[in-house]
Structure 1
């Protein structure tokens, strides 16, 4: 079935009058959007927003070298470490959510429900201010102020996003037809083998778009390091705006464009990975492992 036929199955095709009304609505929407953008540009032009002198300072070579580049590096470091913590912890909590053992399932559920309901900025701030209340401080460990801020930003990002990723994993597992897991159990596979050899390879591919969306959110959430003065992009843009008060909005727009570029690049990388997974899926490898498990007699005996 081609895409055109698939589309007509979902809803009736528009007739001549419907197509005309849709075109009129599209043109009207475009006119309104262009009008709003034109009005905003006119107001900014009247305030001298586009004057070159107001863009020179935030784009000065020295400012780029000493502020923008370190800010980008700091943002990417926080994103990479936060993603690592979130993915590893999210996998453990996610499998805990579907565990057959009630205590594990209950503890994982409490973790997800509690941390998912907290504002991320509150979690970062609390973890940052609680330092020193358990008999040690990051200062006694020899950490610098920047390393301390990075540590608690990463902890906040990892703990919060792990709860979201755990729910994505649980939803992905539950979305699979139950007959596949039942077939694995019918040939004598243990619960862990069913999850590893049958369920997980399919879940990883199906949940990739949702994981991508959450990682993009995590990348943007690194800006919350601003509240603990971690020198990421938003904090650095604020510093530049303070140093050059007539270029504050320009500095924020430059930071926004950098965030967009990083998020767009991340989306392209994951789309490429998704295409690779579709071409060379983990299913053949999992099938080979499944065959060796059954042939080797490591699976349980069906009664």
Structure 2
């Protein structure tokens, strides 16, 4: 559901004291990933420790093996100690991105005050599309902090990180494609880990996945979005009553089932219009509409533009 359209990362080797402030993603996305619709950052702590913070939110400590994700592109800071002034403020970080885009920055960079303690972080920036509807990213907290698994437990994420580091330092053909796929796999595993640690009673799209009936309904809608679903049929296949499904779905996911289906169909349609040279009527049929006019009305109501206008805008 989160299809990446670009990926960029590098390794920072920082000696104490160190600190970097990263501005909001929309300020630097045009520099490093110019065609991106949405950019979010992640930081994989390879060695050492530090503090991560978002303005207005209490700082959180991190250590080797942790993964930090800022899904909404928030301005944030990474510091060797809480509250210290960053070595690189937002303006300096923007200049760093300009130099990186110009090819002036190596894959491994050195920073910090030269102290005895060092923290190594794999810093990544991923591009994807949030429009018109992306329930995965929309349900994420502002800072997603995934802790390292205890030693001795199987750790798929650790293996993916090792592969990413090995591939990043290779100059073999197809490197960028492998970067993208590995980044997607790491993101999926991070979301899995986040889902495992969510307390019972939470609401949101991810919480809906854990509920037996709502999770089943979501799987059905995603597997067959063009099917002529009714609430009765969806409830029957999910194994619960219509009233139970309607109430639990709306409570956990935030939308009634049929409204969610409409939003998901428009997300699929938006991608089809942007990526393929399909006629509007064909796209409408692909997402379950027999009438092109009805599809176009719904699409414009949700996105604010007609399907034809969306297709032209996304192609430019």
Normalized per residue, the structure richer in strand is 2
TM over 0.5: no
Tell me the TM-score normalised to structure 1 length. 0.22
Normalized per residue, the structure richer in helix is 1
Q: Give the number of the structure with larger relative contact order, counting CA–CA contacts within 8 Å between residues 6 or more apart.
A: 1
Tell me the TM-score normalised to structure 2 length. 0.21
